[in-house]
């Protein structure tokens, strides 16, 4: 009986498996507000926005009970600024609306938000690099084990195994996840092994490695 | 709203700003377009009452209980350079020195089917009562694209659904100062920065394929071109510190600086009536009675902006006003009074009127000094039932509203016709004004607004163009 129906059962099992995999949400999907589903015409041209990027990096780099607040790298608004305006978060792509309609504002790539993202991610990269100096990331960031190991792997830059593919792959995976195709990893690996990094110390090289991961269309843009 | 002391204080600081503006090098504004052209849209959300602006009524009409007028002052007859007349409120006196540069457009019909704020604000900004693509980003699609489509300043809430706002940025003076300070303390972001160069290689790679990221990658690449200049611009910008809510003049001074630097093509200033207490959605008697103060303050604010734009150099030949088209608008006008079945005339406020709207438009590409369009019920005689058109009665049975008179867009003349039934095409519509702005910016015809889905574009109000 079982043997007779095996092809049929196999098809059912495979179908269930495919549907289940298709429905599984990635962390990145969850970080984009669901209201985006009601919007048209902006997704193709926009970056993910401040809160999505913040959540993605928090999930990839920090321990489960830790929170990331990227705004510490570009502002410390006073109480007055919080009341009367002055938050720069708006410039990095946020949802604004009236409760009925909502749209992503400030997320289209422009020179202003690209400049601010650079300031922000550079600050984070430098805090992460402090793992190599003190064993702890700066800014009270509590890293998860995978991120810690990935960073420690390149601390010996350019010596030891720090430039080995497996070591670089760990850092890439920790920072980029599965957002980019393999050719992007290859291009990044070539870049960090290039003469641009000659004569750099680990303290100089690691932030630049991380910035080259994050300053990528695959990381910043909605996909 | 500004007090006289605020006005003087900010006026003094704006002189300083003007000096700094003259000293600040224009980073890439000049090369962005051969002929620089910016747009400043000043939105007063809530529904402005034009009877306190440039579509007033004589006091005898108030005595006859036809229209509220809590200012108690007589309207003044105002004649445009085209010979057309309208009554204006004395509250607009501060704007009079600039009216040779500004045209008044009255009797503009909005979306007939709805009298709500969001539908009419959507119609004003997108041409569709339910929202869509805003007009301002379209202005940035002519010539070289500037980094930002538009800046949103002022902090007010306008409640429209703009689906192409991702290229805009909401910016306060405090935020801009904060940003400037950060960049002054950060290492320079130069074009030869290694990370930026690496990113360029990756965006170039993506632009050559057919993935969904291709277009955004192109935008990223364009942005990287301008990033070092923006970095430099923001480092050098000099803005006065604001205490409490920033004033309109402070916001516009910042906008002027950023226009000069070539950061944005347009700016949308939105009055924040909740913060300032200047409620213009005057359904209640309390808010209605406060209108003379509110509109007086608005007139002072607008005059200070006009002064600033006129006196601040854009370059050695032109002022900011010379290179900027300025529009003052709201989503609709208001009724002359409320229904007598609802409230006595002595306690009346006003309701929404989407059959009339008034705009002030001036600056680059615009003929100043005109009066275009008009509303009916402009006198006691014109309020008699036999003088009112069937079309008017069809949309306003109780004669509470002054509605835009029939208008010939081609000749820019008000018609004396009294149509029996209401048809939107008989009147000056907001879409014709929007299309004139598209003309002024040389935009692609595909953006022109029509009155119906997939219909032909409505005629542009070309009389408005210089």
Which CATH number characterizes residue B276's domain?
3.40.720
> Do B398 and B408 belong together in one domain?
yes
- Tell me the chain B residues in contact with residue A93 when contact means C-beta distances shorter than 8 Å: 166
Residue B342 confidence (pLDDT): 85
3-state secondary structure of B149: strand
Point out the domain boundary residue: B197, B224, B244. Answer: B244
Whose tokens are 């747009």? That residue is: B39
Asked if B226 and B208 touch (Cβ cutoff 8 Å), the reply is no
> Do B206 and B252 belong together in one domain?
no
Q: Is-cis flag, bond preceding B302, omega within 30?
A: no
Q: Across the A/B interface, how many CB contacts are shorter than 8 Å?
A: 178
Q: Tell me the C-alpha distance between B6 and B238, whole Å.
A: 19
Residues of chain B with pLDDT under 70: 1-34, 208-212
- Tell me the chain A residues in contact with residue B182 when contact means C-beta distances shorter than 8 Å: 74-75, 119
> Do B205 and B271 belong together in one domain?
no
Nearest CA in chain A to B234: A112
A82 touches chain B (CB under 8 A): no
Per the document, the length of chain B is: 466
> Do B217 and B269 belong together in one domain?
no
Residue B18 confidence (pLDDT): 40
Under the banding of pLDDT at 50, 70 and 90, the label for residue A20 is: very low
CB contact under 8 A, A114 and B220: yes
Nearest CA in chain B to A84: B245
CB contact under 8 A, A217 and B220: yes
> Do B138 and B167 belong together in one domain?
yes
CA dihedral of A149, A150, A152, A155, whole degrees rounded to 10: 170
Residue A18 confidence (pLDDT): 45
Cβ-based neighbours of B362, under 8 Å, separated by 6 or more: B98, B101, B102, B103, B321, B325, B326, B368
Residue B185 confidence (pLDDT): 82
Q: Does residue A12 carry a pLDDT above 60?
A: no
Nearest to B217 among A84, A208, A217 (CB): A217
Nearest to A212 among B149, B195, B242 (CB): B195
Q: Give the strand order in the sheet containing B38-43.
A: B168-170, B148-153, B264-270, B38-43, B324-329, B359-363, B102-105, B371-372
Q: What is the pLDDT of residues A49-78, one digit of tens each?
A: 999 999 999 999 999 999 999 998 887 656
* pTM, 2 dp: 0.83
CB contact under 8 A, B169 and A106: yes
Beta bridge partners of B87: B77
Nearest CA in chain A to B204: A217
- How many helices (H) and strands (E) chain B has is answered by 14, 14
Confirm whether the ipTM is greater than 0.95: no
Q: Tell me the C-alpha distance between B181 and A86, whole Å.
A: 13
> Do B217 and B357 belong together in one domain?
no
- Best interface-test mutation with A: which of B128, B202, B228 has the largest number of A CBs within 10 A? B202
Under the banding of pLDDT at 50, 70 and 90, the label for residue A112 is: confident
Which of B396, B371, B400 lies closest to B104, judged by CA?
B371
List helix spans (H) across chain A: 2-23, 27-31, 50-61, 79-84, 111-129, 131-134, 145-153, 165-176, 182-192, 202-214, 217-220
> Do B73 and B197 belong together in one domain?
no
> Do B18 and B122 belong together in one domain?
yes
Percent of chain A with pLDDT over 70: 73
Nearest to B161 among A101, A106, A114 (CB): A101
Q: Which residues numbered 123-182 in A keep a CB inside 8 Å of some CB on B? A: none
Which of A107, A221, A109 lies closest to B165, judged by CA?
A107
Asked if A47 and A93 touch (Cβ cutoff 8 Å), the reply is yes
Which of B250, B318, B420, B457 lies closest to A86, judged by CA?
B250
Residue B357 confidence (pLDDT): 98
Q: What is the pLDDT of residues A171-215, one digit of tens each?
A: 999 999 999 999 999 999 999 999 999 999 999 999 999 999 999
> Do B345 and B330 belong together in one domain?
yes
H or E segment at B77?
Answer: strand B76-79
Q: Tell me the C-alpha distance between B336 and B66, whole Å.
A: 7
- Best interface-test mutation with A: which of B165, B166, B194 has the largest number of A CBs within 10 A? B166
Q: How far is A34 from chain B (nearest CA, A)?
A: 16
- Best interface-test mutation with B: which of A85, A182, A221 has the largest number of B CBs within 10 A? A85
Residue A22 confidence (pLDDT): 38
- Two tokens, residue B8: 């003087």
Which of B198, B189, B217 lies closest to A122, judged by CA?
B189
Which of A49, A149, A42 lies closest to A89, judged by CA?
A49
Pairing state between β B168-170 and B148-153: parallel
- Two tokens, residue B350: 């006003």
Q: Does residue A32 carry a pLDDT above 50?
A: no
3-state secondary structure of B148: strand
Q: Does residue A25 carry a pLDDT above 70?
A: no
- Residue B294 burial (C-beta neighbours within 10 Å; 0-12, 13-18, 19+): buried
Q: How far is A77 from chain B (nearest CA, A)?
A: 8
Q: Does residue A162 carry a pLDDT above 70?
A: yes
- Tell me the chain B residues in contact with residue A212 when contact means C-beta distances shorter than 8 Å: 195, 198-199
Q: Tell me the C-alpha distance between B375 and B415, whole Å.
A: 11
Mean pLDDT value across chain A: 81
> Do B161 and B295 belong together in one domain?
yes
Q: Other C-beta atoms within 10 Å of B410: how many? A: 11
Q: Which residues numbered 10-69 in A keep a CB inside 8 Å of some CB on B? A: 39-42, 44-47
CB contact under 8 A, A223 and B212: yes
3-state secondary structure of A178: coil
Q: Which residues constitute the domain of residue B235? A: 174-244
Beta bridge partners of A46: none
Point out the domain boundary residue: B219, B244, B269. Answer: B244
Q: How far is B168 from chain A (nearest CA, A)?
A: 5
What's the number of domains chain B is made of?
2
Give, in order, the Cα–Cα distances in Å from B44 to each of A55, A97, B107: 37, 18, 17
Per the document, the length of chain A is: 223
Asked if B405 and B415 touch (Cβ cutoff 8 Å), the reply is yes
- Residue A24 burial (C-beta neighbours within 10 Å; 0-12, 13-18, 19+): exposed
> Do B158 and B181 belong together in one domain?
no
Q: Tell me the C-alpha distance between B439 and B436, whole Å.
A: 5
> Do B68 and B203 belong together in one domain?
no
Nearest CA in chain B to A109: B220
Point out the domain boundary residue: B244, B266, B288. Answer: B244
Q: How far is B420 from chain A (nearest CA, A)?
A: 38
């Amino acid at each position: 009986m079982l043997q007779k129906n095996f092809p049929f059962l196999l098809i059912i099992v495979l179908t269930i498996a495919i549907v289940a995999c298709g429905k599984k949400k990635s962390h990145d999907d969850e970080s984009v507000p669901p209201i985006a589903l009601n919007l048209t015409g902006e997704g193709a041209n926009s970056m993910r926005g401040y809160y999505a990027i913040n959540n993605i990096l928090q999930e990839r780099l920090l321990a489960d009970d830790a929170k990331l607040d990227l705004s510490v790298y570009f502002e410390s608004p006073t109480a007055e600024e919080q009341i009367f305006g002055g938050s720069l978060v708006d410039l990095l792509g946020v949802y604004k609306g009236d409760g009925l309609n909502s749209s992503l504002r400030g997320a289209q790539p422009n020179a202003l938000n690209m400049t601010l993202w650079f300031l922000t991610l550079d600050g984070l990269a430098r805090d992460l690099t402090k793992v190599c100096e003190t064993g702890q990331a700066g800014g009270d960031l509590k890293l998860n084990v995978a991120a810690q190991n990935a960073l420690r792997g390149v601390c010996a830059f350019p010596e030891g195994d720090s430039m080995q593919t497996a070591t670089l792959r760990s850092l890439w995976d920790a920072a980029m996840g599965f957002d980019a195709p393999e050719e992007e990893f290859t291009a990044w690996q070539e870049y960090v092994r290039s003469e641009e990094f000659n004569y750099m110390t680990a303290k100089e090289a690691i932030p630049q490695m991380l910035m080259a991961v994050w300053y990528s269309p695959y990381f910043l843009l909605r996909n | 709203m500004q007090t006289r002391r605020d006005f003087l204080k900010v006026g003094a600081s704006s002189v300083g700003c003007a000096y700094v503006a003259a000293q600040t090098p224009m980073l890439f504004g000049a090369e962005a377009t051969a002929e620089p052209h910016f747009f400043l849209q000043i939105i007063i959300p809530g529904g402005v009452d034009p009877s306190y602006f440039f579509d007033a009524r004589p006091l005898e009409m108030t005595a006859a209980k036809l229209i509220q007028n809590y200012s108690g002052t007589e309207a003044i007859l105002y004649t445009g350079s085209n010979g057309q007349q309208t009554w204006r409120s004395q509250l607009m006196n501060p704007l009079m020195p600039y009216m040779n540069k500004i045209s008044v457009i009255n009797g503009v019909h909005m979306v007939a089917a709805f009298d709500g704020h969001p539908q009419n604000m959507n119609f004003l900004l997108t041409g569709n009562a339910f929202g869509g693509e805003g007009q301002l980003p379209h202005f940035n699609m002519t010539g070289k694209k500037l980094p930002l489509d538009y800046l949103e300043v002022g902090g007010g809430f306008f409640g429209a659904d703009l689906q192409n706002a991702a290229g805009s940025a909401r910016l306060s003076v405090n935020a801009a100062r904060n940003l400037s300070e950060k960049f002054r303390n950060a290492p320079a972001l130069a074009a030869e920065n290694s990370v930026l160069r690496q990113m360029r290689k990756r965006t170039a790679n993506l632009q050559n394929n057919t993935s969904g990221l291709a277009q955004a990658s192109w935008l990223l690449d364009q942005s990287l071109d301008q990033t070092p200049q923006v970095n430099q611009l923001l480092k050098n910008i000099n803005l006065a510190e604001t205490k409490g809510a920033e004033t309109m003049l402070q916001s516009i001074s910042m906008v002027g600086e950023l226009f000069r630097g070539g950061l944005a093509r347009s700016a949308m200033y939105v009055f924040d009536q909740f913060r300032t207490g200047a409620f213009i959605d005057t359904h209640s008697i309390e808010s209605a009675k406060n209108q003379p103060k509110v509109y007086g303050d608005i007139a002072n604010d607008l005059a200070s902006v006009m002064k600033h734009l006129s006196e601040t150099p854009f370059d050695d030949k032109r002022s900011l006003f010379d290179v900027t088209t300025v529009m003052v608008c709201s989503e609709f006008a208001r009724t002359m009074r409320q229904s007598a079945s609802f409230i006595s005339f002595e306690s009346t406020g006003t309701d929404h009127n989407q059959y009339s709207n008034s705009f002030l438009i001036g600056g680059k590409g615009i003929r100043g000094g005109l009066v275009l369009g008009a509303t009916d019920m402009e006198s006691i005689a014109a309020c008699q039932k036999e003088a009112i058109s069937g079309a008017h009665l069809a949309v306003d049975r109780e004669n509470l509203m002054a509605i835009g008179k029939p208008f010939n867009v081609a000749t820019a003349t008000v018609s004396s016709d009294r149509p029996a039934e209401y048809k939107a095409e008989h009147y000056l519509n907001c879409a014709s004004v929007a299309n004139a702005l598209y003309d002024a910016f040389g935009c692609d015809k595909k953006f022109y607004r029509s009155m119906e889905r997939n219909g032909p574009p409505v005629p542009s109000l070309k009389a408005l163009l210089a």
